[in-house]
Copies of this chain bind each other. A is one copy, B any other.
Amino acid sequence: MIQVVLLGAGNVATHLADAFSKAKNIELVQIYGRAKKSLSHVDNQFDTTCSLDHLKEADIYIIAISDDEIAKFSSKLRIRNSLVVHTSGSIAMDQLHGKFRKGVLYPLQTFTKNKKLDFATIPICIEAEEQNDLLLLEKLASSISDNIYFINSEQRKSLHLAAVFVNNFTNHLYQIGNELCDGNKVPFEILKPLIVETAKKIETISPIEAQTGPAKRDDNKTIKTHISMLSEEHQKIYKLLTQSIKNTYGKKL
């Protein structure tokens, strides 16, 4: 049985709490939250505290708070003989400050409040200073997910950057698509199957093989028409991404 304390009560912490509570060999001993209010959605199911002085004993303490606060928060912890990990994609392991053993448990997924996720399919990237701790983290991660990766801080930084492109920026393109539909009284619904298929396509073929569209086939007539239909801001995005696709396939705009 691995004993775990969760430090944080936000989105990631709540999803982890949910996953741990269903795992066979994990005991979720306690959840810490900054304020009593922040714990209201979990305190009927788990032991909770708002005081770092009242943290219970555990094998692993998991910090799941805002990236910006991790370093400072970790330096307040009085933990000595346990493993402390954070869950951030963009923070290096050595930004954890304290006399505890250090590691990272980064579940790479987009977490939405109130939207259940199947944790088993979520890739978990782990890192630790000590080999034994890496094995401990692997055991912990394996109990909630089928996809475990050993990823160091440098690799994780790149992964997080790549995630910004495929998740945050992609979602923004969906939003522009939504705006274009609204502006022309077309239901955005129509695009949803295309959006899902575009994502699923690259499960079997690489993005470079999957590319289609006017930029790929150097169809400058369509490109020109499209540009004339867009606002100045959207024109800039259209032109830059079109040029980038053309560069990838060796054609000039």
A159 — nearest CB in chain B belongs to which residue? B186
Contact indicator A108/B191 (Cβ below 8 Å): yes
Contact indicator B172/A158 (Cβ below 8 Å): no
A199: CB under 8 A from chain B?
Answer: yes
Q: A191-226: which residues lie under 8 A (CB-CB) from chain B?
A: 191-208, 210-216, 219, 221-222, 225-226
CA distance A115 to B201 in the complex (A): 9
- Known A110-B198, A237-B240; 17 more pairs at CB < 8 Å: A67-B219, A90-B225, A108-B193, A115-B201, A123-B194, A147-B190, A151-B186, A151-B190, A154-B184, A158-B229, A164-B214, A165-B176, A166-B177, A166-B191, A170-B170, A171-B210, A175-B211
Residues of A at the B interface (CB closer than 8 Å) are 67-68, 90, 108-110, 112, 115, 117, 121-123, 125, 147, 149, 151, 154-155, 157-159, 161-178, 180-181, 183-208, 210-216, 219, 221-222, 225-226, 229-230, 233, 236-238, 240-241, 244-245, 247-248
Partner of A159, one of B162, B191, B214: B191
Contact indicator A167/B195 (Cβ below 8 Å): yes
Specify which chain B residues have a CB less than 8 angstroms from the CB of A212 in the assembled complex.
110, 167-168, 171
Contact indicator B221/A68 (Cβ below 8 Å): yes
A156 — nearest CB in chain B belongs to which residue? B186
Contact indicator A199/B198 (Cβ below 8 Å): yes
CA distance A67 to B206 in the complex (A): 26
Contact indicator A201/B240 (Cβ below 8 Å): no
CA distance A122 to B196 in the complex (A): 11
Specify which chain B residues have a CB less than 8 angstroms from the CB of A248 in the assembled complex.
172, 175
Contact indicator A172/B241 (Cβ below 8 Å): yes
Contact indicator B193/A122 (Cβ below 8 Å): yes
Specify which chain B residues have a CB less than 8 angstroms from the CB of A226 in the assembled complex.
161, 164
CA distance A198 to B237 in the complex (A): 20
Nearest-Cβ distance from residue A89 to partner chain B, whole angstroms: 10
Partner of A215, one of B168, B195, B201: B168
